[in-house]
A = this chain, B = another copy of it.
Amino acid sequence: MSGSTLGKLFCVTNFGESHGPAIGCVVDGCPPGMGLSAEDIQHDLDRRKPGTSRHVTQRRESDTVEILSGVFDGKTTGAPIALLIRNEDQRSKDYGNIANTFRPGHADYTYWQKYGIRDWRGGGRSSARLTAPTVAAGAIARKWLREQYGVVIRGHLAQMGEKEIPFVSWDEVEQNPFFAPNNAMVPELAAYLDAIRKEKDSVGAKVRVVAHNVPPGWGEPLYDRLDADIAHAMMGLNAVKGVEIGAGFKSVTQRGSLHGDELTPEGFLSNHAGGILGGISSGQDIEVAIAIKPTSSIAIARRSVDLSGAPVQVATTGRHDPCVGIRATPVAEALLAIVLMDHALRHRAQNADVVTPTPRIPGDVS
């Protein structure tokens, strides 16, 4: 029942703090026989790691992963896969001056109330740094899903502050530091973010994640529906304040005659459902969007209280992302991969015998 474990059959148990000796996770439930090396994982970690452009935090971490167990002769054995990432840049002195205050928008106050302990070292366990093990575990899930089912999981920045980013192509996502599917818009985004950083402020973002080729039938209604578990994983990501599946909040103003996706022998005619009906995948693309709040660490002085209860002003200097939404993209992909792999395994357990019924509607939206 561990609160630090994600997944029920593909189980990721996360450990570590921002400025402790190491972070990592234990991945339990990966089937045996899959090829796996540290390189397979490192690629995704590198997409998330700090310091890759001037638009993200400058903390210096190589985020090098070590596989401690569960892999033998280059293949998974079915045993738990322990992944270790040593913290290298533990400049906790950066945080010394805030050890006695509660930063607005941060979890300082709530951790203090829950645990009676103020681990002031960079947010301790509430730091976004703890998403690195999630990304590492997600890389395993993503590889397995691709090899077993041809599932492709991709994400991109869909909006930064007021700037909506029209989708051009998946190829462009990896060609710029914003995970924007639109290279032409990069200068505008860069200028926008530079201006916000100059104002010592930060800004929110919206990220979209899509899973392609998910077979129909994954999800356990009720209560462990596929959309419910996706929402759990996404809302569990630091700074996320909203989750949408398919039409999301647009559904509020839609009519049933519009929203309900019609079926034809050639495929569904729309995808307002976002690939999930009744909590079960339909074969269409799984469509997820998340709202990410602006970075709480800003250099503008703000009101707060200290540990004695006295009013203070807090400004956070140091190495922070002006828009945490950017680096959230690979994490959201990893989370979707973990949830999907978990449900793939659950489906195999209970429904391995089900002869896939016809008709099978192609997932593609025509």
A295 within 8 A of B: yes
CB under 8 Å from chain B, chain A span 206-244: 206, 216-225, 227-236, 238, 240-244
Contact in complex: B241, A351 (CB < 8 Å): no
> For A347, what are the chain B residues with a Cβ–Cβ distance below 8 Å?
114
A42 within 8 A of B: no
A196 within 8 A of B: yes
Q: Which of B109, B260, B281 contacts A277 (CB 8 A)?
A: B109
Q: A248-B241, A308-B359 are in contact. Are A257 and B26 (CB under 8 A)?
A: no
Contact in complex: A204, B257 (CB < 8 Å): no
> For A119, what are the chain B residues with a Cβ–Cβ distance below 8 Å?
72, 77
0/1 interface trace, chain A 256-272, chain B, CB 8 Å (1 if under) = 11111111110001001
How long is the Cα–Cα vector from A70 to B115 in the complex, in angstroms? 12
Q: Which residue of B lies closest to A282 (CB)?
A: B110
CB under 8 Å from chain B, chain A span 267-315: 269, 272-274, 276-283, 291-298, 300, 302-305, 307-311
A191 within 8 A of B: no
How long is the Cα–Cα vector from A311 to B22 in the complex, in angstroms? 48
Most buried by B among A201, A272, A279, A281: A279
Q: A28-B5, A116-B357, A236-B228 are in contact. Are A105 and B291 (CB under 8 A)?
A: no
Contact in complex: A255, B203 (CB < 8 Å): yes
- How big is chain A's contact interface, by range? 35 or more
A348 within 8 A of B: yes
Distance to closest chain B CB from A219 (angstroms) = 7
A139 within 8 A of B: no
> For A354, what are the chain B residues with a Cβ–Cβ distance below 8 Å?
31-33, 114-116
Distance to closest chain B CB from A281 (angstroms) = 7
Contact in complex: B246, A241 (CB < 8 Å): yes
Contact in complex: B109, A216 (CB < 8 Å): yes
A95 within 8 A of B: no
Distance to closest chain B CB from A104 (angstroms) = 4
Q: Which of B109, B203, B294 contacts A263 (CB 8 A)?
A: B109
